[in-house]
Chains A and B, each alone.
Chain A
């Protein structure tokens, strides 16, 4: 059974003109311990999908959601708001694009760690929290965890904050980690370290990952399986190897061709939009 099973998910936003549909019925699965990527350009609907899994969009009046988002046997769409809130930061956690702005600048890392850990066990003593936090930070190869714990986010580098974010996200042993463009706001060398670290830690913690990204290179290096999303529709899915070796959907091909190569193939003449991009979904299988 899948850990996360999204079936026919539709999302519309209400605005002055009426309804605008942004997800036209997408389906995707993530099994326990699996690393899955949802890759697409801006406006494709990849980030709203993550927010629906987190149960955040369900709370807003402007969003109309239909379809199933079954996490661990329960439909997130039909849960009570309190139950959804209880999932966040405990069984589902999230890593954001810009680590420094996602941490609260007015509290020390220690204080923020305590808050995170007490979401799972609200009676946890300060001492136990600190011990756990030290252990998690050490696991992210932070040389001096005690100093980092006593620091405020603005006293640390972007790369260090990213590690802190990852440590916090995994501290409660979540079953699913949502990573929205992790490290995109950071330097390339730091981004590469972040991905390597995430890869190792999610394996250690048996967490599944849904990686949201626009970067095909990042996706290829991180994910077991890939879904390509274009304008609210999944256009192609399959195991990373198979999909990168043989992209079959016109959109995936275009996307793949458009990525500049370090081997210097020149910039190919790829259309920005094409009616072929709206062709039916191609599946390479492998999602069981």
Chain B
């Protein structure tokens, strides 16, 4: 069942240098409980797209609907609550002057989730669900590692039980070993809770392992869309082919795949 639907979405910015078409005529559906990857390089429009979905930017044209209900640029609290975000930089995403617990609790207080007396307990549950110790709620962000901070970011986003989670390059600022743990966590959470992800990234190797479907963006346009398997075995556009060819690979099987697609160095 379609959860999020974008129809002919466009965003144009006026700049001193003229009009910039950040997103042009994008139509796309996100199905309930799937992980759809939005892939693109800088200037592809993927961040602008995310901001429109989150309600931080008003589309110039087009419509966004969530489970059949249209979403305007002015969102009601329940509409806001339904779509949550995990940011790229876990350090700046947490207020350095507030404890981990206070940051996670914000959503619970905003939407009056659970009885007030019980909320610290819910905060601790949320931390535990992402593999962090319960007592971490008393710590400051500066006392946590990058991976732990990103887990807090995930716990915070999930604390309000959103219908859609927008993941904006959630692991690109993390070390490889930490990235693997966080990606596993995200996969597990999606499977056990039936979550829906919009996974924004430039890293095709990550995409291959987390997303069932891929939408490739270039200069604000959706240039290719399809199941992950199909796109990796037979990319339809030169741009997708170039993206796959540019991935630095570590083993022979990957090299063979890359060469078969027709790129490689």
Q: Do chains A and B touch in the complex (CB under 8 A)?
A: yes
Please determine whether B248 and A260 come into contact, CB atoms closer than 8 angstroms. no
- With A188-B243, A188-B246, A218-B248 given, is the CB distance from A262 to B180 under 8 Å? no
Give Cα distance in the complex from A264 to B212, angstroms: 11
- Distance A265 CA – B251 CA, assembled complex (angstroms): 12
User: Are A42's CB and B254's CB within 8 A?
Assistant: no
Q: Is B204 an interface residue (CB 8 A)?
A: yes
Within 8 A of A (CB), among B120-150: 146-147
Question: Is B243 within 8 A of A262, CB to CB?
Answer: no
Interface residues of A in 231-273 (CB under 8 A from B): 244, 254-272
Binds B, one of A70-78, A112-120, A209-217: A209-217
Known A41-B175, A258-B176, A258-B179; judge A192-B248 contact (CB<8 A).
yes
What chain A residues lie within 8 Å of B245 (beta carbons)? Answer: 192
A19 CB-CB contact with B under 8 Å: no
Is the CB–CB distance between A244 and B250 below 8 Å? yes
Most B CB within 10 A of own CB, among A217, A218, A257:
A217
Cβ-neighbour of B176 out of A41, A196, A244 (below 8 A): A41
Q: Would B254 and A255 count as touching, CB distance under 8 A?
A: no
Distance between Cα atoms of A221 and B175 in the complex (Å): 19
Tell me which residues across on chain B come within 8 A of A270, comparing CB atoms: 177, 180-181
A255-B243 Cα distance, complex, nearest whole Å = 23
B20: min CB distance to chain A, Å:
15
Chain A: interface size category: 35 or more
Bits for B171-195, please: 1 = Cβ < 8 Å to A, else 0. 0000111111101100100000000
CA distance A190 to B177 in the complex (A): 25
Say if the beta carbon of B42 comes within 8 Å of chain A.
yes
B208 touches A263 (CB 8 A): yes
Query: Does chain A have a CB within 8 A of B29?
Result: no
Shortest CB distance A190–B (Å): 8
Q: How far is the CA of A227 from the CA of B264 in the complex (A)?
A: 25
Asked if A264 and B228 sit within 8 Å, CB to CB, the answer is: yes
Which residues of A are interface residues toward B (Cβ below 8 A)? Answer: 41-42, 158, 187-189, 191-192, 195-196, 214-218, 220-221, 244, 254-272
> What are 18 pairs between A and B in contact, CB < 8 Å?
A41-B175, A42-B175, A188-B247, A189-B41, A191-B248, A192-B248, A221-B265, A254-B177, A255-B177, A259-B250, A260-B209, A261-B205, A261-B209, A261-B251, A263-B208, A263-B253, A263-B254, A267-B187
